[in-house]
Amino acid sequence: MHVTSRGHRAPGPGAESWARCGLAASFTRRSPGAPAAAARSQRWPSCVASWRRSWKESAGLALGRASESSRPVKDRASTWTASPEVTAPPGSRRTWPGGEGPFRGLRWSGGPAGSGRTCTLGHWLLSRPSGRLWLPGVNSNLVKPVSSEGGILNFCANNYLGLSSHPEVIQAGLQALEEFGAGLSSVRFICGTQSIHKDLEAKIAQFHQREDAILYPSCFDANAGLFEALLTPEDAVLSDELNHASIIDGIRLCKAHKYRYRHLDMANLEAKLQEAQKHRLRLVATDGAFSMDGDIAPLQEICRLASRYGALVFVDECHATGFLGATGRGTDELLGVMDQVTIINSTLGKALGGASGGYTTGPGPLVSLLRQRARPYLFSNSLPPAVIGCASKALDLLMESNAIVQSMAAKTQRFRSKMEAAGFAISGAHHPICPVMLGDARLASCMADDMLKRGIFVIGFSYPVVPKGKARIRVQISAVHSEEDIDRCVEAFVEVGRLHGALP
Ligand SMILES: Cc1ncc(COP(=O)(O)O)c(C=O)c1O
């Protein structure tokens, strides 16, 4: 039986596909006098050279020699050689090397076709007709989680509960589309608020057992809007060093004093809280569950410290809402601190239907303040009705029963225990993010490629997405996977692990 999961869309050419296609690039400093050819020959194995050649042909780049693009690229201060950390086997997905990741903005040694000149990628783009920059591969298709009939099983989406393909969720989206239209052509405070927006905000607050909630176009926006609206230059924010990029960016936007504590290190947080006593207000900001490792913030300890040092607690629950805790309320439910976490931001784009949208939920006056001051709320379009309809139905399903949550938890347990029994090290505990720790970037990339050949879609993550030497394949379990799917994934890992020497 094929179960089409609209949420199981493979990622675009972002950091993940970047890492996957073997170009989790590092830039190696080369002393100005060192021979470029020597550096090149070390850094471009032959299979990469042929891959690069065919990629360049398909992208329409005219380079004098096949290896020309590995010539040192200059920035103002020094000479750098762009080098891949791992190889991209022929036939793997190809992405535009200048468009994403660390190459962005650097000079590219290809010129407009035939010109032989060096120009920036931006100028090169201007010089050509717009068009496709990367070839369609698996990432351009819907990936279908299928059972034993074959096909590709997606184990790398944030579709933890499988609700993006739930028939009732899809039906609710269609109904909202028909009843309320395609979109509002407006921000919320002009004419972008319909009854369904208010209803969903009330439902979110009810789900989290908070006073009120405010919707944003995304959780990235919720994080961008919160800190600036809430904190002044007299305040302080204390942030886990591994917090999500959107929290980091949100904090950058505010004028409060910034303290960064070591990942999950409560002694370090306490020291920073003591230092921050001189400020008017303190806010501790953390991810509830960290997406690279599947580890969980020690919220009990954080809340205890916050209460001792007079701080508010903010938690980003993107990788927890809907499935962590006995009824899926999140990390605060899991750790029994629902009454101590003041502010929660989360997304509709993962477990709650997987489309898009984010929110803040917390005290009523805070939500009122955000409606007045949060810039992404004030200056960006309101969420389209279809998205609202899907998310609203997803919450209904979760509030009716926690069967889906339990099903996902059981499958997570099945995967983790079978993989550990087979000899793999899985980071984190209990979370459906199950990073299979491999250490070596090339190993992670090549194993992920071989998994795909066996019908399992997973992604290898390496530096700079994760620390050097901590490359891994991040597997994400979904309630929509069957037990047979989980077993198929484990079997493929064992086979591929043996093939590459990751298992004896
Ligand atoms: C922890 C965390 N916060 C925020 C976001 C942004 O969420 P959204 O996709 O709704 O913008 C993400 C998405 O990856 C995330 O993982």
Tens of pLDDT along 63-84? 223 232 333 333 332 222 233 3
Supply the residue whose CA is at minimum distance from atom 7 of ligand 1. 219
Q: Which atom of ligand 1 is nearest to the CA of 347?
A: 10
Q: Is residue 11 domain-resident? A: no
- Among the candidates 400, 429, 461, a domain finishes at 400
> What is the number of domains present in the chain?
3
- Among the candidates 400, 427, 462, a domain finishes at 400
Q: Which atom of ligand 1 is nearest to the CA of 246?
A: 4
Where would I find the H helices in 142-263? 167-180, 195-208, 219-230, 245-253
Identify whether residues 350 and 394 lie together within a single domain.
Answer: yes
Identify whether residues 197 and 326 lie together within a single domain.
Answer: yes
* 327: nearest Cα among 415, 404, 392: 404
Question: Given 291, 356, 427, 482, which residue is catalytic?
Answer: 291
Q: How far is the centre of ligand 1, averaged over its atoms, from the C-alpha of 92 (Å)?
A: 27
Q: What are phi and psi of 486, to 5 degrees?
A: -60, -45
Mutate to test the pocket of ligand 1, among 249, 318, 383, 476 (most ligand atoms within 8 A of CB): 318
Q: Which atom of ligand 1 is nearest to the CA of 158?
A: 14
The token pair that represents 160 in the structure block: 């933890």
Residue type, 344: I
Task: Look at residue 406 and tell me whether its pLDDT is greater than 70.
Answer: yes
- Among the candidates 400, 435, 470, a domain finishes at 400
130 noted as active-site residue: no
CATH number assigned to the domain comprising residue 345: 3.40.640.10
Residue 18 confidence class, pLDDT cut points 50, 70, 90? very low
pLDDT in tens, 279-297: 999 999 999 999 999 999 9
Supply the residue whose CA is at minimum distance from atom 12 of ligand 1. 318
DSSP β-ladder status, 282-287 and 212-216: unpaired
- Residue 83's alpha-carbon distances to 86, 155, 174, in angstroms, are 9, 29, 47
Identify whether residues 313 and 353 lie together within a single domain.
Answer: yes
**Angle formed by the axes of helices 219-230 and 364-373, nearest 10°:** 100
Q: Is residue 18 domain-resident? A: no
What residues are paired with 360 via a beta bridge? 214, 345
Distance of CA 272 to the CA centre of its chain: 28
In the numeric block, the tokens 């050419």 are attached to 13
Q: What pLDDT does 16 receive?
A: 30
Q: Is residue 311 domain-resident? A: yes
Task: Look at residue 189 and tell me whether its pLDDT is greater than 90.
Answer: yes
Which residues contact residue 72 at a Cβ distance below 8 angstroms, ignoring those fewer than 6 apart?
A: 30, 36, 79, 80, 81
Q: Is residue 17 domain-resident? A: no
Helix (H, G, I), strand (E, B) or coil at 499: helix
94 or 50: which leads in pLDDT = 50
Helix (H, G, I), strand (E, B) or coil at 384: coil
Task: Quote the longest CA-to-CA distance of the chain.
Answer: 69
CATH number assigned to the domain comprising residue 414: 3.90.1150.10
Residue type, 83: S
The ligand 1 site (C-beta within 6 Å) comprises 218-220, 223, 244, 246, 287, 291, 316, 318-319, 347, 349, 358
Q: Exposure pattern of 81-107 as b/e (b: 16+ CB <10 Å)?
A: bbbbbbbbbeebbbbbbbebbbbeebb
Identify whether residues 382 and 260 lie together within a single domain.
Answer: yes
Identify whether residues 388 and 464 lie together within a single domain.
Answer: no
- Residue 344's alpha-carbon distances to 55, 313, 367, in angstroms, are 44, 9, 11
Supply the residue whose CA is at minimum distance from atom 8 of ligand 1. 219
Question: Given 8, 244, 272, 319, which residue is catalytic?
Answer: 319
Q: What pLDDT does 118 receive?
A: 59
Q: Is residue 78 domain-resident? A: yes
Q: Is residue 472 domain-resident? A: yes
291 noted as active-site residue: yes
| pLDDT, mean over the chain | 79
Q: Is the peptide bond preceding residue 72 cis, with omega within 30 degrees of 0?
A: no
Which residues contact residue 198 at a Cβ distance below 8 angstroms, ignoring those fewer than 6 apart?
A: none
Beta carbons of 337 and 344 less than 8 angstroms apart: no
Residue 439 confidence class, pLDDT cut points 50, 70, 90? very high
Q: How far is the centre of ligand 1, averaged over its atoms, from the C-alpha of 27 (Å)?
A: 28
Q: What pLDDT does 151 receive?
A: 79
319 noted as active-site residue: yes
Helix (H, G, I), strand (E, B) or coil at 437: strand
Q: What is the DSSP letter of 2?
A: B
Q: What pLDDT does 32 receive?
A: 40
Q: Which atom of ligand 1 is nearest to the CA of 290?
A: 1
pLDDT in tens, 323-359: 999 999 999 999 999 999 999 999 999 999 999 999 9
State how far the Cα of 102 lies from the Cα of 104, in Å rounded to an integer: 5
State how far the Cα of 504 lies from the Cα of 499, in Å rounded to an integer: 9
Angle, CA 140 vertex, CA 320 and CA 349 arms, to 5°: 20
Q: How far is the centre of ligand 1, averaged over its atoms, from the C-alpha of 34 (Å)?
A: 43
Residue 215 confidence class, pLDDT cut points 50, 70, 90? very high
What is the domain extent for residue 277? 167-400
Task: Look at residue 121 and tell me whether its pLDDT is greater than 60.
Answer: yes
Q: Which atom of ligand 1 is nearest to the CA of 349?
A: 10
Identify whether residues 105 and 202 lie together within a single domain.
Answer: no
Identify whether residues 200 and 349 lie together within a single domain.
Answer: yes
Helix (H, G, I), strand (E, B) or coil at 422: helix
Identify whether residues 112 and 145 lie together within a single domain.
Answer: no
Identify whether residues 306 and 342 lie together within a single domain.
Answer: yes
Q: Poorest-confidence range of 79-88, 156-165, 221-230, 273-282?
A: 79-88
Q: How far is the centre of ligand 1, averaged over its atoms, from the C-alpha of 349 (Å)?
A: 8
Q: Is residue 364 domain-resident? A: yes
Q: Is residue 48 domain-resident? A: yes
